[in-house]
Amino acid sequence: MRRAIQLALLAEGRTSPNPLVGAVVLDSSGSLVGEGFHTGAGNPHAEIEALAKAGEKSVNGTIVVTLEPCCHEGLTPPCTEALIKAGLKRVVVGMVDPDPRVSGNGISRLKDSGLEVIEGVLQQECESINREFSFRVRHGRPWGILKWAMSLDGRIGLPNGCSKWISNSFSRDSVHKIRSKCDAVIVGGGTVRLDNPLLTSRGKANSEPLRVVFSRTLDLPESSKLWDTKIAKTLIAYGPDGNESFFSDLPDGPEKLRLNSDDPSELLSSLSKKGCNKILWECGPLLATSAIEANCVQELVVFVAPKLLGGETAMCPLNSFGFESIDSTYKLQHSFLERKGEDLSWSLLF
Amino acid sequence: MRRAIQLALLAEGRTSPNPLVGAVVLDSSGSLVGEGFHTGAGNPHAEIEALAKAGEKSVNGTIVVTLEPCCHEGLTPPCTEALIKAGLKRVVVGMVDPDPRVSGNGISRLKDSGLEVIEGVLQQECESINREFSFRVRHGRPWGILKWAMSLDGRIGLPNGCSKWISNSFSRDSVHKIRSKCDAVIVGGGTVRLDNPLLTSRGKANSEPLRVVFSRTLDLPESSKLWDTKIAKTLIAYGPDGNESFFSDLPDGPEKLRLNSDDPSELLSSLSKKGCNKILWECGPLLATSAIEANCVQELVVFVAPKLLGGETAMCPLNSFGFESIDSTYKLQHSFLERKGEDLSWSLLF
């Protein structure tokens, strides 16, 4: 199973909306005769890849697979039938597939066909590599990461709006890496107006994440790096108050998405349907605050630079939640902490 | 010299305004025959303690001392004369005493009397244990530490002023330890009004640091834990706008200090004259900002709790410095980083 997990991780960041899956086939004497992993939606599943390598040697053998084999017709035929047809004797499964179309039905189908099924092997490890996929399947919206870079005194910009650069190049490189593991990066209109960001992984991703501008009013600049969709796709999502006349001057390229509300969770449901397992919020205080309040943030990455910016009216990472006592504030769980040159990077879970 | 440094550190936090000093005496064959360290102002210097232990065995011997022996009459007679009288052959010195009354004159006096002097042994280590003493002697004001506890989103309190407790008990314990190493703890009037703090080391110090209230207006509450000076002394320092009628209702106990200005450096000069080598700023944004601007902060300790407080108007650690670009902001040097339970504690130098 450890080898199957290794195989699964080879496709990290490329399989959405599908999960990461790895599989290993052993022959009747226990020798490894086939390996495979899922490389992306529409491509063969891990089991099919591994069985293809094993060929005739899978008869009376064992397949070890990180995720329960599917039993439904998707973009590819059900894996359960391929396993049965291959003459396997035993199936070792890491975790049950949370997808309601599978969710134990794959295992039942195999058992009903006389195969021995061993479940829950390295279950925690198998679940952890598909945390975002499982979250999306269970909640109908992608796993949300919120990131900001601030000074020691908790400022994300000077009173005049200047924020280039609070964090150092190691931290910014690390943001590019986070983007490369996400399916979409979301900013609000304020960030487009103030920072004119590019929002790419700077080539770290095989395919750049979708860049999403979430604007209530569509009060957006005519010219922006995000309107050029040659390097990466852009989606402009807007609520009922969006002034669509903005689109008349917009160059071709960005996709438009009209939503029924300004609720961040409606946006995330739409992104989930577009196949996003994991998204990154790179927005200002207003949108960040409402994303947290709408449970659209599961993970926080804070970069702290050893600088003091000051500023009475200046820019803090979040707006008011209306808390009246410290007991009622959000409490996060430490995940990991790293030095990035002189900066700190602290990741936490909600 | 390593042993002499160990000895010196035995009196950490108790010698102000004097430095930490340790001394070791070796006889003519190089065997250790005496040890001593300075235990506080008015008590014998380290050299005298060590020579007393060595007695006759110091003749033709060596003394190893972390700091240049004094050559002036202070609360105790000059050490140079005692060293000469003891019949020593050699003096090994860690660092030159920055006190202008000594500053090489001690070493010259010894050399002139025919003793061999070896200087600069483990100089960096010797300087580092007396960083605050040297700073005070060179600059005429104590080494300043500024401390605050904030949430992940850089807030030191909720919009309603509530801040108990942002940091956890490990962090607060660590603040008590910092206080125990300081000669004074300074707050502004706002902190007295809002938090009514006790400002002691909770028994961690042999003698509690002086608690200083620095108030521009003397608009202070009639009742405060700080007005009770049974546990620790309190000093109320105020500028020319201080309304002294406040004192008529104040219980006996707190000392009063009228200053010519609201400049934090005038307060620190006064505290230097009172024998403070090291002070701790535990104040709100207004005073913290002016202390930084007046170069009265050399070290910053930030506790970061994994909480999100939010708050549009709410309390940030610092006010405006009027910076117009990130390049002009304060940049600090990492000193050390620790986990305190779920909190982080980050110490940095200006």
List, for residues B208-256, the tens digit of each pLDDT value: 999 999 999 999 999 999 999 999 999 999 999 999 999 998 999 999 9
Structural tokens at position B325? 């670009």
Interface test with A, best of B152, B169, B281, B301 (most A CBs within 10 A): B152
Residue B312 has pLDDT above 80, yes or no: no
- Give how far Cα B123 sits from Cα of A239, A306, B309, B333, Å: 67, 29, 46, 22
pLDDT in tens, B183-197: 999 999 999 998 999
- The pLDDT assigned to B41 comes to 87
- The pLDDT assigned to A196 comes to 93
Name chain A contacts of B321, Cβ cutoff 8 Å. Answer: 308-311
The answer to whether the CB atoms of B325 and A158 lie below 8 A apart is yes
Q: Cα separation of B313 and B62, whole Å?
A: 64
Surface of A (249-308) touching B: CB under 8 A: 289, 292, 300, 302, 304, 306-308
Q: Where are the beta strands (DSSP E) in B195-329?
A: 210-215, 234-238, 255-258, 278-281, 299-305, 307-308
For the stretch B158-162, contacts whose Cβ atoms lie closer than 8 Å and that sit 24 or more positions apart, written own/partner, are B158/A323, B158/A324, B158/A325, B158/A326, B158/A329, B158/B309, B158/B311, B158/B314, B158/B315, B159/A320, B159/B311, B159/B312, B159/B313, B159/B314, B159/B315, B160/A324, B161/B194, B161/B315, B162/A324, B162/A325, B162/A326
Name chain B contacts of A170, Cβ cutoff 8 Å. Answer: none
- Weakest mean pLDDT among A8-12, A144-148, B277-281: A8-12
> β-strand A62-67 against A90-95: which pairing, if any?
parallel
Residue A315 has pLDDT above 90, yes or no: no
The answer to whether the CB atoms of A348 and B321 lie below 8 A apart is no
Residue A314 has pLDDT above 70, yes or no: no
pLDDT band at B154 (very low <50, low <70, confident <90, very high): very high
Name chain B contacts of A304, Cβ cutoff 8 Å. Answer: 304, 346
Contacts of A203 (CB under 8 A, 6+ apart): none
Q: What is the pTM of this model?
A: 0.89
Partner-chain residue, chosen from A162, A329, A334, that has the shortest CB–CB distance to B309: A329
Residue B322 has pLDDT above 70, yes or no: yes
Name chain A contacts of B334, Cβ cutoff 8 Å. Answer: 306, 339, 342
Residue B199 has pLDDT above 90, yes or no: yes
Q: Among residues of chain A, what percentage have pLDDT more than 70? A: 100
Residue B313 has pLDDT above 80, yes or no: no
- Other CB atoms within 10 Å distance of the CB of residue A203: 10
Helix H or strand E segment including B150: strand B143-151
Partner-chain residue, chosen from A159, A310, A326, that has the shortest CB–CB distance to B166: A326
- Give how far Cα A271 sits from Cα of A209, A275, A279, B145, Å: 12, 6, 9, 48
Name chain B contacts of A292, Cβ cutoff 8 Å. Answer: 308
Q: Among residues of chain A, what percentage have pLDDT more than 90? A: 90
Mean pLDDT of chain A, nearest integer: 94
User: What separation, in Å, do the N-terminal and C-terminal C-alpha atoms of chain B show?
Assistant: 29
Residue B181 DSSP code: T
Q: Where are the beta strands (DSSP E) in chain A?
A: 22-26, 32-37, 62-67, 90-95, 116-118, 143-151, 184-188, 210-215, 234-238, 255-258, 278-281, 299-305, 307-308, 330-331, 333-340, 343-349
The answer to whether the CB atoms of B320 and A302 lie below 8 A apart is no
Partner-chain residue, chosen from B158, B316, B323, that has the shortest CB–CB distance to A158: B323
Residue A168 has pLDDT above 90, yes or no: yes
The answer to whether the CB atoms of A323 and B310 lie below 8 A apart is yes
Annotated catalytic residues of B are 47
Phi, psi of B312 (to 5 degrees): -60, -50
Name chain A contacts of B348, Cβ cutoff 8 Å. Answer: 152, 306
Q: Cα separation of B313 and A88, whole Å?
A: 66
Partner-chain residue, chosen from B162, B300, B344, that has the shortest CB–CB distance to A326: B162
Give me the interface pTM, i.e. the ipTM: 0.86
Interface test with A, best of B287, B296, B318 (most A CBs within 10 A): B318
Does residue A165 sit at the B interface (CB-CB below 8 Å)? yes
Q: Cα separation of A325 and B163, whole Å?
A: 8
Partner-chain residue, chosen from B153, B342, B348, that has the shortest CB–CB distance to A154: B153
Interface contacts (A, B; CB < 8 Å) = 160
The answer to whether the CB atoms of B309 and A302 lie below 8 A apart is no
Q: Is A303 helix (H, G, I), strand (E, B) or coil?
A: strand
pLDDT in tens, A38-91: 999 889 999 999 999 999 999 999 999 999 999 988 888 899 999 999 999 999
Name chain A contacts of B159, Cβ cutoff 8 Å. Answer: 320
Interface test with B, best of A156, A307, A329, A330 (most B CBs within 10 A): A329
Q: Which residue of A has its CA nearest to B149?
A: A153
